[in-house]
């Protein structure tokens, strides 16, 4: 490989750019040459064996590179990441290059066997696994230390030499996807398989869950409407609604697991083996030996991490929770003040003023949630977790606890301390609707508008007024590299989680919540789709087999909702009337019913299999085959 790589590459006939690497503007020549040669170097020499092409912009800067790979290389990469594909006999199998002929749709000249998202995932995987050999530093940057086995890309990222790596959009495909997804007004399912092909499994699964959850809420919404229309204030009807709600919430979460298994089996991720997890980019520590791999890598003592968690993070979270409760008490003072004002003046204005404290409080809650989010991210990253998954779990736990308290504490207070059902209903409605409006605005329309403005400016700058598909590659890359980065499905799931809380925790005092949730989710599907296609850079596909920790979070919420609903029912005048003589009997009955319901929930969760029978059989068949194959060896 002594010849000039760039000349060699310019003449590569079918170089298809897949991934963009953006280096810092002032990156040294020697660093750039070293990096590109390492990326292009043969696998045998410790390289990634990918194709790299510099993107020459008008300004003449050479800090953007396009990465691609030959078809053969991508197939080998698919084997390395353990991609699972459908065979000609309709079974799903882990792809290997030697058995490539047995896979459906495989032909040596069929370049669409791997979807573009899969190709980009493979390239990302190969780039991240490009490791230092005997380099001690990054050429040109003596402060950027390397050691054998250290991921080069991660070191470049932490040192700021590498600005970003992102996959390119495919304007043609994107246009098609946009059309089937939200291009026409229609009632029907989302094209989940197409979304998965374009954005990968994690995002497709989010949209699948969003859709499923919306459908699952429809029966609740339908049952909820007459409560509003006929002003059913009878508590016996609310009892019916709450009971239905409890069973429903258990059933939908169990059924989701089954649906999820069906989808991810079809997509192949259910069978995909978990890869060994490398340290996350931000992880730092003194150089030591990893006891699992035996490789040299930074080591950070688990005890020091535990100390940071229990002595700093935990007290901080508790402080935040206390602050949130303090703000809540201010809200109740405001509420009282508005009530007094209304009683005094009795005007239209004053009756409007009744809603103001709730609206202000809802806005304050949203703001606090967002500020806390940054603090939680900072703290969790300071805790220095080795694995991305452990980082995510600690972050999710911190954020969930705070958001739960912040959003629902006032409702709990109203329900179980003030016993004011009218105020509860009013607060619930205001909180739910305000937070939905704020979210929709902050999440999709604001970024979309900013993006649109930016795009216009960019286009003007480039003196071109062509439509998207006619953009030249240079223009496309320049546009996309300035787009915002999608930071994963965390916020989207969190929003759904809080919505689920509003709908299920106090469902028996406000059955209309489900209606609002359904309406919100329908627009949410569209705004999230818009966000993915138009606002953000294309994210890398991320294979996944389930919604992970969110399943647990939703199940916990449904357990809490059993408790709250039982208490609310027990507090209702109608149920109280059934026990005129003894309050004690009432409470004991409610407690008994609650325990039975909880026991039933656990039995149901245990009895309903997590995977449908046919998927179970298919998985058993694969396991049997691999056992047989092992015996043959």
Give residues in contact with its own copies (CB under 8 A).
80, 273, 275-276, 291-294, 302, 563, 583-584, 587-588, 591, 595, 613, 617, 620-621, 623-624, 627, 631
**Least distance (Å) from its own copies to the CB of residue 587?**
5
Q: Which is nearer to its own copies, 481 or 611 (CB)?
A: 611
Taking the mean position of all CA atoms in its chain, how far away is CA 128?
21
* C-alpha to C-alpha distances, 577 to 13, 111, 237, 573, 585, nearest whole angstrom: 83, 72, 15, 6, 12
For its own copies, the closer CB: 110 or 626? 626
Of 487 and 624, the one with the shorter C-beta distance to its own copies is 624
3-state class of 22 per DSSP? Answer: strand
Largest CA distance in the chain: 96
C-alpha distances out from residue 433 to 108, 249, 333, 360, 506, Å:
55, 21, 22, 13, 15
Q: List Cα–Cα distances, 500 to 213, 252, 263, 416, 459, in angstroms.
A: 9, 12, 23, 20, 42
Q: What is the DSSP string of 564-604?
A: HHHHHHHHSHHHHHH-SS-HHHHHHHHHHHHHHHHHHHHHH
State residue 326 phi and psi, 5-degree precision.
Answer: -65, -45
Tell the smallest beta-carbon distance from residue 624 to its own copies (Å): 5
Burial-class residue 14 by CB neighbours within 10 Å (0-12, 13-18, 19+).
exposed
The CB-of-596 to its own copies minimum distance in angstroms stands at: 12
Give CA 510 to chain center in angstroms. Answer: 29
Q: Distance between CA atoms of 295 and 386, rounded to whole angstroms?
A: 15
Least Å distance, CB 105 to its own copies, is: 24
Residue placing its CB nearer to its own copies in the complex, 12 or 585: 585
Q: Is 610 helix (H, G, I), strand (E, B) or coil?
A: coil
**Residue 433 tokens, joined:** 């609707």
Q: How far is the CB of 122 from its own copies (least distance, A)?
A: 14
C-alpha span between 244 and 250 (Å, rounded): 10
3-state SS class at 138: strand
Residue 65 C-beta: closest distance to its own copies, Å? 27
Q: Which is nearer to its own copies, 80 or 339 (CB)?
A: 80
**Closer of 382 and 624 to its own copies (Cβ):** 624
**For its own copies, which is the closer residue by CB, 24 or 622?**
622
What's the min distance (Å) between Cβ of 628 and its own copies? 8
Question: What Å distances lie between residue 206 and 446, 492, 525, 529, 620, CA to CA?
Answer: 22, 8, 10, 11, 27
For residue 613, the minimal CB distance to its own copies (Å) is 8
Q: How far is the CB of 594 from its own copies (least distance, A)?
A: 9
* Smallest gap from residue 585 Cβ to its own copies (A): 10
> Is 164 or 275 the residue whose CB approaches its own copies more closely?
275
Q: Which CB, 295 or 457, lies closer to its own copies?
A: 295
Nearest approach, Cβ of residue 630 and its own copies (Å): 8
Nearer to its own copies, 180 or 389 (CB): 389
> 178-189 burial by CB neighbour count: b if 16+ within 10 A, else e?
beebbeeeeeee
- Determine the Cα–Cα distance for residues 505 and 499; give it in Å rounded to an integer: 10
Query: By C-alpha distance, which of 409, 415, 408, 410 is closest to 570?
Result: 415
Q: What is the 3-state secondary structure (H, E, C) of 157-193?
A: HHCCCEEEEEECCCHHHHHHHHHHHHHCCCCCCCCHH
Closer CB to its own copies, residue 111 or residue 621?
Answer: 621
């Amino acid at each position: 490989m002594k010849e000039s790589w760039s000349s060699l590459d310019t003449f590569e006939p079918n170089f298809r750019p897949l991934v963009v690497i953006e280096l810092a503007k002032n990156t040294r020549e020697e660093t750039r040459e070293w990096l590109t040669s390492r990326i292009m170097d043969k696998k045998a020499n410790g390289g990634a064996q990918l194709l790299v092409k510099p993107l020459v912009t008008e300004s003449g800067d050479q800090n953007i590179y396009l990465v691609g790979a030959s078809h053969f290389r991508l197939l080998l990469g698919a084997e390395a990441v353990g991609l699972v594909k459908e065979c000609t006999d309709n079974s799903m199998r882990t792809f290997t290059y030697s058995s490539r002929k047995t896979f459906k749709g495989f032909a040596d000249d069929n370049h669409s066997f791997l979807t573009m998202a899969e190709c980009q995932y493979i390239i990302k995987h190969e780039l991240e696994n490009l490791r230092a050999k005997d380099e001690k530093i990054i050429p040109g940057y003596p402060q950027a230390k390397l050691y054998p086995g250290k991921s080069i890309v991660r070191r470049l990222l932490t040192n700021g030499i590498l600005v970003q790596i992102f996959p390119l959009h495919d304007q043609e495909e994107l246009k098609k996807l946009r059309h089937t997804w939200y291009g026409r007004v229609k009632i029907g399912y989302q094209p989940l398989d197409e979304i998965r092909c374009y954005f990968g499994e994690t995002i497709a699964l989010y949209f699948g869950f969003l859709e499923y959850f919306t459908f699952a809420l429809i029966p609740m919404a339908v049952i909820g409407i007459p409560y509003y229309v006929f002003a059913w204030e009878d508590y016996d009807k609310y009892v019916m609604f709450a009971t239905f709600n409890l069973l429903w919430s258990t059933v939908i979460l169990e059924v989701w697991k089954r649906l999820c298994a069906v989808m991810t089996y079809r997509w192949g991720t259910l069978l995909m083996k978990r890869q060994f997890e490398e340290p996350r980019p931000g992880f730092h520590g003194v150089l030591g030996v990893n006891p699992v791999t035996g490789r040299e890598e930074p080591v950070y003592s688990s005890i020091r991490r535990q100390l940071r968690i229990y002595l700093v993070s935990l007290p901080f979270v508790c402080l935040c929770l206390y602050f949130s409760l303090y703000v809540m008490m201010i809200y109740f003072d405001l509420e009282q003040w508005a009530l007094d004002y209304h009683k005094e003046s009795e005007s239209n204005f004053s009756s409007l003023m009744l809603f103001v404290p709730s609206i202000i409080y809802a806005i304050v809650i949203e703001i606090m949630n967002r500020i806390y989010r940054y603090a939680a991210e900072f703290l969790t990253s300071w805790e220095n977790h080795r694995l991305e998954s452990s980082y995510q779990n600690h972050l999710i736990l911190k954020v969930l606890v705070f958001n739960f308290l912040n959003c629902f504490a006032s409702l709990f207070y109203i329900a179980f301390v003030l016993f004011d059902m009218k105020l509860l209903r009013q607060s619930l409605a205001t909180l739910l609707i305000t937070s939905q409006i704020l979210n929709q605005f902050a999440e999709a329309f604001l970024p979309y508008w900013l993006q649109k403005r930016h795009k216009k400016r960019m286009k003007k700058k480039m003196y071109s007024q062509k439509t998207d598909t006619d953009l030249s590659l240079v223009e496309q890359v320049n546009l996309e590299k300035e787009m915002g980065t999608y930071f994963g499905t965390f916020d989207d799931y969190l929003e759904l989680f809080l919505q689920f809380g509003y709908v299920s925790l106090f469902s028996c005092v406000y059955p209309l919540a489900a209606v609002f949730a359904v309406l919100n989710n329908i627009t949410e599907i569209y705004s999230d789709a818009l966000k993915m296609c138009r606002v953000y850079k294309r994210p890398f596909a991320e294979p996944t087999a389930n919604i992970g920790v969110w399943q647990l979070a939703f199940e916990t919420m449904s357990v809490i909702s059993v408790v709250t609903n039982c208490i609310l029912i027990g507090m209702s005048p109608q149920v109280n009337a059934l026990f005129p003589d003894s309050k004690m009997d009432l409470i004991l009955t409610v407690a008994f019913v609650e325990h039975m319901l909880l026991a039933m929930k656990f039995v149901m969760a245990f009895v309903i299999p997590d995977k449908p029978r046919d998927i179970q059989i298919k998985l058993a068949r694969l396991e049997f085959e691999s056992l047989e194959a092992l015996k043959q060896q």
